[in-house]
Structure 1
Amino acid sequence: MEPIKITRTGYTVEVTVGAKPFTTFNFDPKIAKAYLQPVRDADGAVVTRSFPDMDVVPPEHEHDRSLEPHQRGMYFGHGDINGYNFWAEETFKKYYGHDVSSNYGRMVFRKIDEMHGGPNSGKLRATFDLEGPDQKAFAQEIQDYTFSGDKSTRIIDCEITIRAGKQLVKFGDTKEGTFAIRLAPELDAPQGTMVSSEGGEGEPQIWGKRANWVNVDGTIDGHELGVAIFDHPKSFRHPTYWHARGYGLLAANPFGLSYFLRDTKQDGSYTIPAGESIHFRYRLLVHKGNYKEAQVAKQYDDYAAHP
């Protein structure tokens, strides 16, 4: 593994691997949720979509098919937490065609709890409040990231904890969520190819299905590469369902059962009692070559074996 350096400037944290830029954590209180963007591979190719920057959609992209401007680089958000929408964002509602929510939530930055580099990995942990339109916090969100990489891979281990305050916190059953990355357009279908741990290929065989991991391969700047999300066995409701789209969205969503199973009798919602927590654990892997060459299945097994 290569040395990691982590540097904060204002409301951004820059992460480098072996002196090469890897990713930037953006947590400005002016935006509705924190996100990592851009995310690069070991050769410097950017694997995430290049926008929005803060709350700005470039004019040349305003009419993009499947724009979904709230789908930032890599982020955690859910479309129904206590009835508030933490997936879509109020600032982008003019792009939705209709107002998808009258109750938008916000993730509000409170503090950096831990931040340091190291010879083999680096650590970043930040705390946020979850607030409804009344700007009153009803839960805390702790985002915990461990960064690492070598000559051919880049890794972000992600642990997200939602801690209820004095009232219960309910994650509603919706397909709009939850741990997600919006990929660069070069990785969109058909030029980008999506596979799952269960042998699924493409959106029709992966969307709404359960799997340990999903990987998207493609070519950016002449480099053949892939991006995978791993769902750890100790993560909530493992193996997760996937809200994975051919237009570049790759998201683990353990809540949207009525949508994924196409059965309104199913209820994937979950309620956190007051004072208690829910824990999610994922890994983002960016690798050279396709998923077979990168031995993604073996890399998942190694990841899953860690307690």
Structure 2
Amino acid sequence: MFPSSLRRPLTVLSTLAFTFTLTSLSFAAVELKQEAEQVRVEIDGHLFTEYHFAGARRPYLYPIIGPTGGTMTRHWPLEDDLPNEAHDHPHHKGLWYGHRNVNGVEFWGDVLQPNETGGQMIHDGFLEIQGGEQQGSLRAKNKWVVDNTGEVICTDERTLRFTKDPGGPMIDFEITIKAGPKDVVFEDDKDGCMSIRVPETMRVELPRPKGAKVTPHGEGHIVTSEGKQDLAAWGTRANWCDYYGPVDGQTAGVAMFDHPGNPRHPTWWHVRTYGLFSANPFGQSMFEKLPDKHAGDFTIPAGQSSTFRYRFYFHPGDTEKAKVAEHYAAYVSSVK
């Protein structure tokens, strides 16, 4: 028997332990918290990413914290006090969806040319925000609006699912685009659609120094399901593509999966050695160097819709160690 002087402290400790156990059992491993301009996503109490739905020309996710603890996207232009980051393409914000030419309207870039008409994807409300033991999700509505006229070309309903997985966290991005009273044409262009800008340390090629004739190589690599690597991966078609390299001193990567139910699967990959990583089913003439500059045009008839599904798998290690091919097979079997 314990001395009477120790019985009360032990009882208190036992009560605390029991309370902690109950709390642990009811704790949602993936939590989503809506704030004024973003939804914060936490896994096991730590920031995973934020969905920014206000203050930009299109919604985006930033930052995204990978399985090794490092940030899996470039910081600029959302943060500009970090050294050794290229200040190119200011529209490359974290992870986003967009396209350069939709009915002649620019839904990709932020800086317009004199002859371009710009458009914005304006947040139109949330349909669902919820957490869970292994997965949390949000559903949001958006209007694709022409800047100078206010015309709504189309709308979208997007579902983002955030999954805690032993191999590394995952984001499923499903977007259904619905045409209004007119046909919606995604015109053939290389700049689109499902995209992420990886961190500078993962680049395959580094910025070329002024006056240099040779582009220096980085430590990053690109690999597709068809075996294309690095520069040779651009403009080719594949079920999936993986981009990996050093992140804060450790090897990490992000693989993007194109669901077989997507229109024009397998998609073309607009994946650049400087860090842009996009799945684009609407750039056929540019990727394949075809004389017909409208070969890749894609039309959603008035009043109808098209759905596209992708998964981002953030993993430690390279493509082989992360078993990207096996994860793609699991994705195909789980998302019907």
Do the aligned residues in 2 keep the contact of 1:38 with 1:47 (CA within 8 Å)? yes
Query: Kindly, what percent of the aligned residue pairs are identical?
Result: 35
The Cα shift of 1:59 comes to 7.6
2:92 counterpart of 1:58: no
The CA deviation string for residues 47-94 of structure 1, in whole angstroms up to 9 with x for no partner, is 1011222xxx73888x965711101100000000110010111xx35x
The Cα shift of 1:225 comes to 1.0
What is the identity, as a one-letter code, of the residue corresponding to 2:80?
Answer: P
Correspondence for 1:96: none
2:138 counterpart of 1:124: yes
Correspondence for 2:57: 32
The CA deviation string for residues 238-296 of structure 1, in whole angstroms up to 9 with x for no partner, is 00001000000110000101100101226100111111001110000000111111100
Q: Distance in 2 between matches of 1:103 and 1:207?
A: 28
The CA deviation string for residues 25-47 of structure 1, in whole angstroms up to 9 with x for no partner, is 0010x311000011111232101
Q: 1:177 aligns with which of 170, 176, 192?
A: 192
Q: Distance in 2 between matches of 1:32 and 1:76?
A: 11
Correspondence for 2:45: 19
What is the identity, as a one-letter code, of the residue corresponding to 1:88?
Answer: G
Q: 1:113 aligns with which of 113, 127, 142?
A: 127
Correspondence for 1:250: 277
Correspondence for 1:295: 323
The Cα shift of 1:150 comes to 3.0
Q: Distance in 2 between matches of 1:290 and 1:18?
A: 25
2:255 counterpart of 1:233: no
Do the aligned residues in 2 keep the contact of 1:287 with 1:294 (CA within 8 Å)? yes
The Cα shift of 1:100 comes to 7.0
The Cα shift of 1:219 comes to 1.3
Query: Aligned in 2, Cα 1:51/1:114: closer, same or farther, shift over 3 Å?
Result: same
Q: Distance in 1 between matches of 2:221 and 2:114?
A: 30
The CA deviation string for residues 138-161 of structure 1, in whole angstroms up to 9 with x for no partner, is 211112111012344010011011
Q: 2:220 aligns with which of 192, 209, 225?
A: 192
Do the aligned residues in 1 keep the contact of 2:146 with 2:152 (CA within 8 Å)? yes
TM-score (norm 2): 0.83
Alignment of 1:94-173 (within 5 A): 99=113, 102-133=116-147, 134-173=149-188
Query: Which blocks of at least 5 consecutive residues in structure 2 are unaligned?
Result: 1-27, 205-217
Q: 2:250 aligns with which of 223, 241, 247?
A: 223
Do the aligned residues in 2 keep the contact of 1:66 with 1:247 (CA within 8 Å)? no
Query: Which blocks of at least 5 consecutive residues in structure 1 are unaligned?
Result: 94-98
Q: 2:91 aligns with which of 70, 80, 84?
A: 70
The Cα shift of 1:191 comes to 1.1
Correspondence for 1:6: 32
What is the identity, as a one-letter code, of the residue corresponding to 2:95?
Answer: M
Q: Which has the higher helix share?
A: 2
What is the identity, as a one-letter code, of the residue corresponding to 1:84?
Answer: V
Equivalent pairs counted in the alignment come to 293
What is the identity, as a one-letter code, of the residue corresponding to 2:96?
Answer: Y
Q: Distance in 1 between matches of 2:90 and 2:145?
A: 21
Q: Distance in 2 between matches of 1:268 and 1:241?
A: 11
Moved over 6 A (4+): none
The Cα shift of 1:17 comes to 1.1
Query: Aligned in 2, Cα 1:155/1:58: closer, same or farther, shift over 3 Å?
Result: same
What is the identity, as a one-letter code, of the residue corresponding to 2:67?
Answer: A
Do the aligned residues in 1 keep the contact of 2:221 with 2:229 (CA within 8 Å)? yes
Query: Aligned in 2, Cα 1:303/1:60: closer, same or farther, shift over 3 Å?
Result: closer
RMSD: 1.8
What is the identity, as a one-letter code, of the residue corresponding to 2:240?
Answer: W
Structure number with greater Rg is 2
Q: Distance in 1 between matches of 2:298 and 2:248?
A: 42
Q: Distance in 2 between matches of 1:24 and 1:100?
A: 33
